[in-house]
Every structure is written in C-alpha cells, then in structure tokens.
C-alpha cells in the first residue's frame, strides 16, 4: 500500500495541494527560525542570546500552529476521498492496508514539502539575521548559517506532525463501516488545550511579571493554545451563534434555509478562529510592549526592535492567514456535487451562492468572536506583566482591522470558490 500511496500522490496531486501548502509553509518558517540557532552556535555571548531567544520563541509558536494546520488539512483531504477508500475496501483492501496508504501519503507529502521549503527557509533565515544585525541585537560580523538544526527541526517537525496526523486520520477513516461520532473526545482535547493556554497565561502574569520582553514567549503561546482549544469547540460555538442569528438568517428565504442545513460549517470556523485569535493577541501584545518600553530605551533602538517583532509576528500571522484561505478553498471546492444536487432539486445558482455567503457570515461571526475570546489569554496576562494593569490601554481599532481581514479572506475564499464550482451543467457535476 506504500506503493499505492506514492502513485496516489503522483497521479492525483490536486488532492494533496492543501496539505502540501500547509506543510511547505510550515517547514519554511520552522527552518527559518531554527537557522538562528545554527547561527548562534559560534558567536559572542550577547549575539548568541539574542539569536537563541528569537529562534526559540519563533519555533515555539510555529510548532503548535504548523502541527495543527497539517493535521486539519490532512483530515480534510482524506475525508474528501471517501469514495476512493470505499472502492478500495470493496475490492478487498483491509483496514491496516488503508491505514498504511494514508500514513504513507502523509509522509510522502511532508518529505516533498520539506525538501521544497529548504531554499525558502534559508532565505527567510537570512532576512531574520539581517534584521537582528540592523537592530544591533547581534554583532555586525555575524554571518547567517543554515545547518543541521534548521534541517532537523524543519524536516523532523513537519514529517512527525504529518505522521501523527496520518495515523489519527487513518484510524477514523479506514475502519469498516460508519463510526459513531464521539464529541466527548474532542471536548476533552479542547479542554486540555484551554488548560494549557490558561497555564501559560498564569505563568505570564506571575513568574514573567517584571521580566520585560521575555514575557512575550509565554503570553504568545497562551493565545495559540487557547485558539486551538476553542477551535476544537467550533461545533458548539457555531450552534450558539446560529441560534442567536436564526431569525436574521431566515429573513433571506431559501438561501437562509439552505445555510442552516449545512452540517459541516464547523470545520470552516476553525481556521477563522485561529487566525483571529493569534493575530489579535499578537498585535495587542506588541502594542502593550511598545508603550511599556517607551522612554526606557533609545527611541531609534526601540523602533528597530518594534520592526523586528512585527516582522516575526507578521510571518506567523501570514502563515495562519494562508492556512485560513487554503482550508476554506479546499472545503468549498469539495462541495461541487452537493451544489449540483441542490441545483437539480430546484435551487438557482444565485440561491446557492447566497447560501454560501450566509454560511460565510455564520462562520465569520463565530470565528471572530471565538478568536477574540482566545486573544484574551494573551492580552490580559501580558498587560498585567508589562503594564501593571489587567485591562491595558488599547484601541478597538486593531481588532476591527483583524476582524475585517478575517471577514474579507473568508468571503473571498468561500464565494469565489463556490462561483467557480457552480459553473457548468449541474448534471455533469452531480455525477463527477
């Protein structure tokens, strides 16, 4: 079945695009930050400390996000191949054989993505070292290195994450017959993620109080863990938001009724929530740091550090934004047959697109509100540690911008993909 896995990747590359993109971008980021640890191996003490701190913080944040991104896109990719897996089972493939095939595909995609990511990771690593030199945090004589640590972290985390994701996904998919959903397992895992986020938040407000910029490390992780925890509770959050917005959605007639009947919107909520939570938390955390550091260090140096921090945060946020668009496009494109069946049942193209637009509203509202809640795991404890107040001075404008970006990305991914998907005759798409 490993040979089958390789042939699947070679002959059906389109089915692995979402997983490949997540693994590729994740591996590139991991290698870029880990290359700072390679660079720190033979420099002066001050430069080595700056390189190690930046590399460790960046890799720590990326590790959690990349593992979750690869898992979610791989699960979606396998779920979209239910017919192929059912066909293989009907011709005699056993559960263990199917599991080996799915895990083999995950590993092959991860290896290829990691290999392609090497030059990108090398380039991003050099950019980070240049920024550290420009801000005076490392000596001007320090040259960027890209060595065994970068390659080990990039390949190791990406392949291991894909392997674990493949095993988990294959156990759910390759079993004979339908399996009963067990939401209590998902809720337990969500609770563990939220407890971990809460623990990081408490550490930030207590042990990291007075530690200066170092408090960013635990505060950033608190928001990431909490975002993933709440994302796992997306079905419950979506039901709550849908119940509140039910009268408004029904005002739109047939598209509204169709939107309310789509049971798989929760998977689309997850990337929106994670993007909003991480972006909001990191932007406000940097704002708090800027105000706390004002007057304590020279203005030019402070501006340089601010630029560096925003570059690091921006790299991670861009990855999460791409994950959002990547996941939504893959999920919507897979609904070609569903859209065709709705059109054959009497729905017009406009009604189908209206349904998708209303789904986007439910997804965006749920994801943005959930992300706002997750960002509090970062903002409140970091504000306490750096500004001495739980609720720091902050304008809601930054959150508004993040929410608008999340809504724009969601709408563009859903509606544009749906518009391409409903082109052509419905009869051909229904039997595709």
- pLDDT tier at 200, thresholds 50, 70, 90: very high
Asked whether residue 376 carries a pLDDT value surpassing 90, the answer given is yes
pLDDT of residue 49: 81
**What is the rounded average pLDDT for all residues in the chain?**
81
Q: What percent of the chain has pLDDT over 70?
A: 84
- pLDDT tier at 244, thresholds 50, 70, 90: confident
| Alpha carbons 175 and 160: distance in angstroms, whole number | 23
Q: CB neighbours of 331 closer than 8 A, spacing ≥ 6?
A: 76, 264, 267, 268
Specify the range with the lowest mean pLDDT, choosing from 43-52, 179-188, 355-364.
179-188
Q: What percent of the chain has pLDDT over 90?
A: 20
pLDDT of residue 192: 94
Locate the domains of the chain by residue range: 1-180, 183-432
pLDDT of residue 262: 60
| Alpha carbons 67 and 153: distance in angstroms, whole number | 12
Asked whether residue 288 carries a pLDDT value surpassing 70, the answer given is yes
The arithmetic mean of pLDDT across residues 339-353, rounded, is 80
386-398 per-position pLDDT tens digit: 878 777 777 889 8
pLDDT of residue 381: 92
Asked whether residue 56 carries a pLDDT value surpassing 90, the answer given is no
Q: CB neighbours of 369 closer than 8 A, spacing ≥ 6?
A: 237, 241
| Alpha carbons 308 and 305: distance in angstroms, whole number | 5
3-state secondary structure the chain: CHHHHHHHHHHCHHHHHHHHHHHHHHHHHHHHHHHHHHHHHHCCHHHHHHHHHHHHHHHHHHHHHHHHHHHHHHHHHHHCCHHHHHHHHHCCCCHHHHHHHHHHHHHHHHHHHHHHHHHHHHHHHHHHHHHHHHCCCCCCCCCCCCCHHHHHHHHHHHHHHHHHHHHHHHHHHCCCCCCCCCHHHHHHHHHHHHHHHHHHHHHHHCCCCCCHHHHHHHHHHHHHHHHHHHHHCHHHHHHHHHHHHHHHHHCCCHHHHHHHCCCCCHHHHHHHHHHHHHHHHHHHHHHHHHHHHCCCCCHHHHHHHHHHHHHHHHHHHHHHHHHHHHHHHHHHHCCHHHHHHHHHCCCCHHHHHHHHHHHHHHHHHHHHHHHHHHHHHHHHHHHHHHHCCCCCCCCCHHHHHHHHHHHHHHHHHHHHHHHHHCCCCHHHHHCC
- pLDDT tier at 280, thresholds 50, 70, 90: very high
Asked whether residue 174 carries a pLDDT value surpassing 60, the answer given is no
The arithmetic mean of pLDDT across residues 104-110, rounded, is 84
Give how far the C-alpha of residue 88 lies from the chain's centroid of Cα atoms, to the nearest Å: 31
CA dihedral 323, 328, 334, 339 (to 10 degrees): -170
Asked whether residue 207 carries a pLDDT value surpassing 80, the answer given is yes
Asked whether residue 178 carries a pLDDT value surpassing 50, the answer given is no
pLDDT of residue 123: 93
pLDDT of residue 177: 46
Asked whether residue 334 carries a pLDDT value surpassing 80, the answer given is no
29-46 per-position pLDDT tens digit: 899 999 988 988 878 887
Give how far the C-alpha of residue 38 lies from the chain's centroid of Cα atoms, to the nearest Å: 26
Highest mean pLDDT among 90-104, 172-186, 255-269: 90-104
- pLDDT tier at 11, thresholds 50, 70, 90: low
| Alpha carbons 43 and 318: distance in angstroms, whole number | 31
The arithmetic mean of pLDDT across residues 332-336, rounded, is 76
CA atoms within 13 A on the CB side of 207: 10
- pLDDT tier at 101, thresholds 50, 70, 90: confident
Specify the range with the lowest mean pLDDT, choosing from 172-181, 195-204, 247-256.
172-181
| Alpha carbons 172 and 48: distance in angstroms, whole number | 45
Asked whether residue 18 carries a pLDDT value surpassing 90, the answer given is no
The arithmetic mean of pLDDT across residues 53-71, rounded, is 78
Sign of CA dihedral 127, 128, 131, 132: negative
| Alpha carbons 99 and 171: distance in angstroms, whole number | 7
């Amino acid at each position: 079945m490993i040979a089958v896995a390789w042939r699947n990747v070679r002959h059906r590359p389109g089915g692995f695009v979402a997983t490949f993109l997540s693994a590729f971008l994740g591996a590139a980021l991991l290698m870029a930050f880990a290359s700072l640890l390679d660079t720190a191996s033979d420099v002066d003490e001050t430069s080595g400390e700056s390189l190690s701190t930046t590399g460790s913080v960046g890799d720590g944040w990326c590790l959690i996000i990349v593992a979750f991104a690869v898992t979610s896109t791989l699960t979606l990719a396998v779920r979209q191949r239910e017919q192929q897996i059912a066909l293989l089972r009907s011709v005699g493939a056993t559960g263990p054989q199917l599991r080996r095939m799915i895990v083999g595909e995950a590993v092959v995609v991860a290896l290829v993505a990691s290999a392609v990511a090497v030059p990108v990771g090398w380039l991003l690593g050099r950019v980070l070292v240049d920024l550290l030199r420009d801000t005076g945090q490392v000596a001007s004589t320090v040259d960027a290195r890209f060595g065994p640590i970068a390659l080990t972290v990039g390949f190791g985390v990406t392949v291991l994450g894909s392997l674990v994701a493949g095993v988990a996904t294959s156990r759910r998919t390759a079993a004979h017959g339908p399996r009963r959903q067990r939401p209590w397992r998902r809720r337990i895992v969500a609770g563990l993620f939220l407890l971990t986020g809460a623990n990081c938040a408490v550490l930030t407000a207590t042990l990291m109080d007075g530690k200066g910029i170092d408090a960013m490390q635990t505060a950033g992780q608190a928001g990431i863990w909490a975002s993933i925890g709440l994302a796992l509770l997306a079905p419950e959050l979506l039901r709550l938001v849908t119940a509140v917005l039910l009268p408004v959605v029904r005002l739109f007639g047939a598209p509204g009724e169709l939107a309310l009947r789509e049971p798989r919107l929760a998977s689309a909520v997850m990337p929106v929530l994670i993007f909003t939570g991480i972006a909001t938390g990191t932007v406000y955390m940097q704002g708090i740091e800027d105000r706390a550091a004002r007057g304590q260090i020279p203005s030019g140096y402070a501006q340089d550090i601010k630029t560096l921090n925003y570059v690091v945060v921006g790299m991670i946020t861009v990855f999460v934004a791409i994950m959002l668009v990547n996941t939504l496009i893959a999920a919507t494109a897979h609904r070609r047959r569903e859209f065709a069946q709705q059109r054959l049942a009497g729905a017009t193209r406009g009604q189908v697109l209206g349904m998708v637009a209303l789904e986007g509203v439910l997804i965006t509202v749920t994801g943005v509100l959930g992300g706002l809640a997750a960002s509090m795991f970062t903002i409140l404890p970091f504000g306490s540690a750096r500004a001495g107040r739980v609720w720091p001075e902050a304008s809601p404008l930054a959150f508004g911008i993040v929410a608008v970006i999340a809504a724009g990305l969601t709408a563009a991914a859903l509606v544009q993909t749906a518009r391409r998907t409903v082109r052509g005759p419905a009869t051909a798409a229904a039997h595709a």
